[in-house]
């Protein structure tokens, strides 16, 4: 109750006793909306989240399991009981199940990896034995290889640069990489490009084991047997079903031959625990690993290659399994053909109490509370579509197939897609389309943080400032890693991703330890942040659903995009300086003179100079765009007729689509958005203005200049679009 009063108090302060209108609403409708939001908040109940998590995380439920299907059916029945028109849409997707996993050290000593996490006291879910999914990386290819081992740190591009300096090649070898530092799928992708024939990924205790805190069951961190499962599909090329790129995996869809599927890895890859990694790493010799590469194991980290040799054998049962998406609709009273979408996945690697159930129960509680209001006659003006996706874990498959299936209709009807996934205690993280930033910031200013009772926005800003940031509320840019990807990056639909975290550290991610007891002890024991998430996402959903004018703000968008361009220009300059310095050091023999003469280090050679790039077309276009946006924002919307507003909304809904190009990004046409994409060599990590940025990072100067042209055209089209709207409203 205290929390509610505080919320109301904050609302009153922030809105000047509701005289000031909220973004997108007239002052009259602002009051109505705030009343509705108050009823919604009062309706949220933490007990439901707790109860539903216990039910849905009771057994393992990866895609294709019986329990997963039971969950989907139960979610559907819940939505129906809340008044939603609900269906299950099923796709037939390729999903590999491991049938043989062998990893052994064959020389100079012998060790057979156990590849099994142990049950722990106080957590009966970890003792379900064969019901638990064996630890593996989905979409590793089958393979049977034996070779010398090389330690490659995190296995990211800069680690291979370091290896090259040391004169070490991974060609024909098996690499062992630490889990963090990049999205896991990048490790086998890069290793294969460098000529390795196998890849092992292990969780170093320094990253999420005893180096961080007590291990499970005493604490939240990874014990010596815990293994992170996860997909290694080449998602930066395209996510979703590997056999049906760009179209839906329906029963009768034409499918690629598995050997032709470009997103399955080229070499076998297996994740292991630090207990299993220790004998392998101990058996390495050769160069001692650079200081920054050393982890938390009680050994001297060597790189090899060898003398350790390992044998890795993996076989999978490659079969089609059904992926069940639950789609629940509450029809809008005024604009039924304008949809506000809200989604979270329901499949997990094992029990998935945190990932994804903690986010799913928040979504369900929002839907229930909104359903209650609708039953009392307070229905949304626009249609709400709630989705519980299947097969997110193996590669965003359920949502991708659904978006590919309905792409045309979605591009006509969807106002925005709001995503959540695992949730915990701490600070609001919000990412997405920057035209939505102002509205999200306004909502975050009204939601109360359950621990400190200030707004979740103030708490976020406090954390930013303490960590060296400034005092503004900003959305981060979306890379990949959850179900927003097909919406924003493929269909060009404005999207958000929301979640709380930062005070819920642990090592349970994708292991058998992500269970209800673990969640209750270490994540969000009272589900206070579950309710805060339902509150934040629910208010955003309701504002988008009821706004008189769709709440987009392009001046904040413009300043963010301009910053991205400045960043790229600055980075190009520092690359230039570095190359000049490097070449000078090569001429002066500095590398050799600075090295220990008793150690073998390959002297580097001169690098190609960085040419001057002409960014002016982009800079000029951003100036023009700034003027256009200023003119658009000067329109007095209060004087517009109902018909003009309807017309305006129809066009605002599609504004984000103007930022895509049908041709897509170089070498990955599935990714159409020109502002945000997951990095080709970072995976989940975002690359903003990706066409230009990645060409420069890869030192492909011809492509950089081409991509500047393409992006300039994107800005030009966007400019024309906003200008036309403005002119038509005058």
Compute CA distances 273 → 176, 687, 689, whole Å. 12, 31, 37
Q: Which one of 209-217, 327-335, 356-364, 645-653 is the stretch in contact with Zn ion (CB under 5 A)?
A: 356-364
Contact window for Zn ion (CB under 5 A) among 24-32, 136-144, 349-357, 379-387: 349-357
Q: Are 447 and 535 in contact (CB under 8 A)?
A: yes
Class of residue 19 by CB neighbours under 10 A (exposed 0-12, middle 13-18, buried 19+): exposed
Cα separation, 179 vs 723, whole angstroms: 48
Phi, psi of 691 (to 5 degrees): -60, -50
- What tokens appear for 435 in the block? 């035209």
- In 221-378, DSSP assigns E strands to 230-231, 269-272, 309-330, 335-345
* Cα 378 from Cα 363, distance rounded (Å): 19
Q: How far is the CB of 352 from Zn ion (least distance, A)?
A: 7
Q: Does 356 bind Zn ion (CB under 5 A)?
A: yes
Query: Whole-angstrom Cα distance, residue 260 to residue 264?
Result: 9
Supply the minimum distance, in Å, between the C-beta of residue 119 and Zn ion: 24
* CB closer to Zn ion, 159 vs 393: 393
CB of 326 to Zn ion, least distance (A): 16
Q: Which is nearer to Zn ion, 205 or 352 (CB)?
A: 352
- For residue 690, the SS3 value is helix
Q: Which of 89, 275, 347, 355 binds Zn ion (CB under 5 A)?
A: 355
Question: Does 159 contact Zn ion by CB under 5 A?
Answer: no
Place of tokens 């179209």: 247
Burial call 32-66: b when 16+ CB within 10 Å, e when fewer: ebbebbeebbebbebebbbebbeebbbbbbbbbbe
Site stretch for Zn ion (CB under 5 A), options 413-421, 554-562, 680-688, 702-710? 413-421
Taking the complex as a whole, the smallest distance from the CB of residue 350 to Zn ion amounts, in Å, to: 12
Structural contact between residues 235 and 264, judged by C-beta atoms closer than 8 angstroms? no
* Pairwise CA distance, residues 553 & 541, whole Å: 17
Q: Using CB under 5 A, which of the segments 237-245, 420-428, 641-649, 688-696 binds Zn ion?
A: 420-428
Site for Zn ion in 177-196 (CB under 5 A): none
Determine contact, residues 138/394, Cβ cutoff 8 Å. yes
Determine, following the binding rule CB under 5 A, whether residue 421 of this chain makes contact with Zn ion. Answer: yes
Closer to Zn ion at the Cβ: 234 or 421?
421
Q: How far is the CB of 481 from Zn ion (least distance, A)?
A: 8
Of residues 79-108, those binding Zn ion (CB under 5 A): none
Q: Which is nearer to Zn ion, 335 or 527 (CB)?
A: 527
Closest CB 63 distance from Zn ion, rounded Å: 12
Residue with tokens 């359920």: 398
483 binds Zn ion (CB under 5 A): no
Of 355 and 508, nearer to Zn ion (C-beta) is 355
In terms of CB distance, is 266 or 345 closer to Zn ion?
345
Minimum distance from CB of 516 to Zn ion (Å)? 16
Q: For 661, which DSSP code?
A: -
Stretch that binds Zn ion, among 68-76, 218-226, 419-427, 522-530 (CB under 5 A): 419-427
Judged by CB under 5 A, how many residues of this single chain contact Zn ion? Answer: 3
d(CA 73, CA 388): 11
Shortest distance, position 228 Cβ to Zn ion, whole Å? 13
Tell me how long the chain is: 730
Sequence-distant (6+) residues with CB within 8 A of 12 are: 18
204 binds Zn ion (CB under 5 A): no
**CB 394 → Zn ion: shortest distance, Å?**
11
Q: What are phi and psi of 461, to 5 degrees?
A: -65, -40
Contact code string over 47-86 relative to Zn ion, x by CB under 5 A: ----------------------------------------
* CA-based nearest residue to 139, from 487, 393, 509: 393
Asked if residue 465 lies in contact with residue 653, where contact means CB atoms within 8 angstroms, the answer is: no
Nearer to Zn ion, 355 or 401 (CB): 355
Per CB under 5 A, the segment of 66-74, 85-93, 414-422, 621-629 that binds Zn ion is: 414-422
Residue with smaller CB distance to Zn ion, 394 or 690: 394
**Torsion (CA) 433, 437, 442, 443 in degrees, nearest 10:** 20
Cα(236)–Cα(684) distance, integer angstroms: 8
> Shortest distance, CB of residue 126 to Zn ion, whole angstroms?
20
Closer to Zn ion at the Cβ: 62 or 335?
62
| Cβ closest to Zn ion, residue 420 vs residue 433 | 420
Specify the DSSP class assigned to residue 330. Answer: E
Span of 201-209, 272-280, 352-360, 444-452 interacting with Zn ion by CB under 5 A: 352-360
Q: In terms of CB distance, is 295 or 422 closer to Zn ion?
A: 422
Tell me the window of 5-13, 147-155, 347-355, 538-546 that interacts with Zn ion (CB under 5 A): 347-355
Q: Please say whether the beta carbons of 418 and 498 come within 8 A.
A: yes
Window contacting Zn ion (CB under 5 A); options: 311-319, 421-429, 493-501, 667-675: 421-429
Using CB under 5 A, which of the segments 3-11, 121-129, 206-214, 348-356 binds Zn ion?
348-356
What angle is formed at CA 136 by the lines to CA 130 and CA 140, rounded to 5 degrees? 140
Measure the CA–CA gap between 143 and 477, rounded to whole angstroms.
37
Q: Which of 96/395 has CB closer to Zn ion?
A: 395
User: Which of 50, 355 has the CB closer to Zn ion?
Assistant: 355
- The helices-and-strands tally (H runs, E runs) of the chain is 21, 16
Q: Respond yes or no on whether the N-terminal peptide bond of residue 685 is cis (omega within 30° of 0).
A: no
**Shortest approach of Zn ion to residue 429 CB, angstroms?**
14
Cβ-based nearer residue to Zn ion, 194 or 229: 229
Spatial contact of 672 and 479, defined as CB atoms under 8 Å apart: no
Q: How far is the CB of 422 from Zn ion (least distance, A)?
A: 5
Residues that bind Zn ion (CB under 5 A): 355-356, 421
């Amino acid at each position: 109750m205290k929390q509610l009063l505080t919320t109301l108090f904050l609302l009153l302060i922030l809105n000047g006793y509701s005289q000031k209108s909220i973004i997108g609403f007239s002052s009259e409708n602002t009051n109505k909306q705030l009343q509705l939001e108050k009823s919604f908040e009062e309706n949220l109940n933490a007990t439901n989240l707790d109860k539903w998590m216990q039910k849905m995380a009771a057994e393992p439920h990866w895609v294709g399991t019986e329990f997963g299907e039971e969950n989907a059916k139960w979610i559907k029945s819940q939505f129906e009981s809340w008044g939603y028109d609900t269906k299950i849409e099923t796709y037939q997707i390729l999903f590999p199940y491991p049938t043989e996993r062998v990893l052994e050290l064959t020389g100079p000593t012998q060790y057979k990896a156990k590849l099994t996490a142990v049950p722990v006291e106080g957590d009966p879910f970890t003792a379900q034995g064969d019901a638990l999914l064996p630890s593996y990386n989905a979409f590793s290819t089958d393979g049977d290889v034996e070779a010398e081992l090389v330690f490659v740190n995190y296995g990211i591009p800069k680690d291979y640069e370091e290896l090259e300096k040391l004169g070490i090649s991974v060609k024909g070898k098996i690499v062992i990489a630490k889990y963090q530092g990049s999205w896991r799928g990048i490790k086998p992708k890069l290793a294969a490009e460098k000529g390795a024939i196998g890849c092992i990924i292990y969780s170093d205790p320094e990253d999420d084991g005893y180096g961080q805190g007590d291990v499970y069951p005493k604490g939240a961190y990874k014990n010596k047997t815990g293994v992170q499962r996860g997909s290694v599909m080449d998602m930066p090329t395209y996510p979703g079903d590997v056999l049906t790129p760009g179209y839906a995996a329906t029963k009768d869809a034409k499918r690629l031959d598995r050997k032709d599927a470009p997103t399955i890895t080229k070499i076998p890859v297996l994740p292991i625990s630090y207990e299993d990694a220790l004998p392998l790493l101990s058996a390495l010799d050769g160069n001692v690993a650079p200081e920054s590469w050393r982890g938390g194991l009680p050994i001297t980290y060597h790189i090899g290659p060898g003398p350790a040799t390992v044998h890795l054998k993996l076989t999978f049962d490659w079969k089609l399994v059904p992926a069940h998406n639950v789609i629940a609709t509450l029809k809008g009273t005024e604009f039924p053909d304008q949809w506000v979408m809200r989604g979270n996945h329901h499949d997990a690697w094992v029990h998935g109490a945190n990932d994804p159930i903690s986010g799913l129960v928040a979504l369900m509680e929002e839907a229930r509370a909104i359903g209650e209001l609708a039953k009392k006659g307070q229905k949304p003006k626009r249609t709400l579509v709630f989705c519980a996706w299947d097969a997110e874990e193996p590669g965003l498959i359920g949502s991708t197939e659904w978006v590919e299936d309905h792409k045309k209709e979605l591009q006509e009807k969807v106002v925005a897609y709001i995503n959540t996934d695992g949730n915990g205690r701490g600070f609001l993280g919000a990412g997405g389309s920057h035209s939505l930033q102002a509205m999200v910031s306004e909502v975050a200013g009204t939601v109360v943080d359950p621990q400190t009772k200030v707004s979740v926005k103030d708490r976020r800003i406090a954390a930013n400032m303490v960590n060296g940031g400034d005092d503004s509320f900003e959305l981060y840019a979306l890379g990949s890693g959850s179900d927003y990807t097909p919406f924003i990056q493929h269909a060009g639909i404005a999207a958000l991703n929301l979640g709380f975290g930062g005070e819920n550290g642990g090592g349970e991610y994708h292991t058998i330890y992500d269970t209800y007891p673990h969640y209750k002890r270490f994540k969000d024991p009272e589900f206070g942040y579950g309710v805060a998430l339902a509150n934040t996402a629910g208010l955003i959903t309701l504002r988008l659903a009821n706004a008189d004018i769709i709440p987009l703000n392009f001046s904040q968008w413009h300043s963010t995009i301009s910053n991205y361009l400045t960043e790229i220009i600055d980075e190009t300059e520092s690359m230039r300086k570095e190359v000049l310095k490097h070449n000078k050091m090569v001429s002066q023999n500095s590398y050799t003179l600075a090295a220990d003469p008793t150690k073998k280090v390959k002297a580097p050679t001169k690098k190609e100079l960085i040419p001057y790039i002409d960014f002016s077309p982009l800079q000029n276009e951003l100036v023009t765009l700034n003027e256009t946006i200023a003119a658009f924002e000067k329109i007095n919307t209060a004087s517009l007729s109902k018909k003009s507003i309807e017309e305006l909304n129809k066009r605002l809904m599609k504004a984000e689509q103007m930022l895509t190009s049908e041709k897509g990004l170089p070498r990955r046409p599935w990714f159409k958005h020109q502002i945000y994409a997951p990095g080709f060599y970072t995976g989940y990590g975002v690359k903003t203005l990706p066409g230009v940025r990645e060409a420069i990072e890869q030192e492909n100067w011809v492509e950089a200049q081409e991509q500047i042209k393409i992006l300039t055209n994107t800005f030009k089209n966007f400019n024309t679009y906003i200008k036309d709207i403005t002119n038509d409203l005058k």
